[in-house]
């Protein structure tokens, strides 16, 4: 993908502050962080969605995110009290760069970052157990 900003980072065409690079993925600081230490974990090969990741790469990305989260808590300049992992998969989910990536977001009490549904969120009615079981079976069928 020649015009993908993350592919350009991976090819060294754009400046980047890298954290981890190995055969499966690349982790770097986000240039628009929600808090200092906000890291992106990217697959080395262009994949648009979570479903396009192979099992090894997807698992490895999560493992790298776990290691980065632990490092964020130990780094004296960051020393966050919590971490959010976030992956937007598709435009409807808020994905803006269409190269799969996992955010590792350091969090602090009172940082005013919101990851909860807003109070006026238009929720669907709660399903009953039969509806949940039916939906679970349909999803299992497609695994």
The predicted structure's pLDDT at residue 128: 79
Average pLDDT over residues 34-48: 94
pTM: 0.85
Percent of the chain with pLDDT over 90: 64
Average pLDDT over residues 103-109: 92
Catalytic one of 38, 99, 101, 103: 101
Q: How confident is the model at residue 143 (pLDDT cuts 50, 70, 90)?
A: low
Q: Between these two residues, 79 and 123, which has the higher pLDDT value? A: 79
Picking from 114, 108, 104, 110, the residue whose alpha carbon sits closest to that of residue 81 is 108
Cβ partners under 8 Å of residue 102, min gap 6: 40, 41, 42, 61, 62, 65, 85, 86, 87
45 is a catalytic site residue:
no
Q: How confident is the model at residue 123 (pLDDT cuts 50, 70, 90)?
A: low
Judge contact between 16 and 28, C-beta under 8 A.
Answer: yes
The predicted structure's pLDDT at residue 117: 60
For 44-60, the pLDDT digits (tens) are: 999 999 999 999 999 99
Percent of the chain with pLDDT over 70: 92
């Amino acid at each position: 993908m020649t015009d993908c900003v993350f592919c350009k980072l991976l090819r060294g065409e754009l400046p980047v502050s890298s954290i981890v690079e190995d055969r499966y993925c690349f982790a770097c600081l986000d240039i628009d962080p929600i808090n200092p230490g906000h890291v992106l974990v990217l697959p080395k090969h262009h994949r648009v969605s979570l479903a396009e990741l192979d099992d090894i790469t997807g698992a490895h990305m999560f493992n790298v995110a776990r290691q980065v989260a632990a490092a964020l808590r130990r780094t004296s300049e960051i020393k966050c009290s919590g971490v959010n992992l976030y992956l937007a998969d598709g435009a409807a989910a808020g994905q803006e760069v269409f190269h799969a990536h996992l955010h590792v977001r350091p969090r602090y009490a009172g940082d005013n970052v919101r990851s909860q549904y807003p109070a006026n969120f238009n929720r669907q009615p709660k399903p009953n157990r039969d509806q949940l079981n039916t939906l679970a079976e349909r999803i299992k069928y497609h695994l």
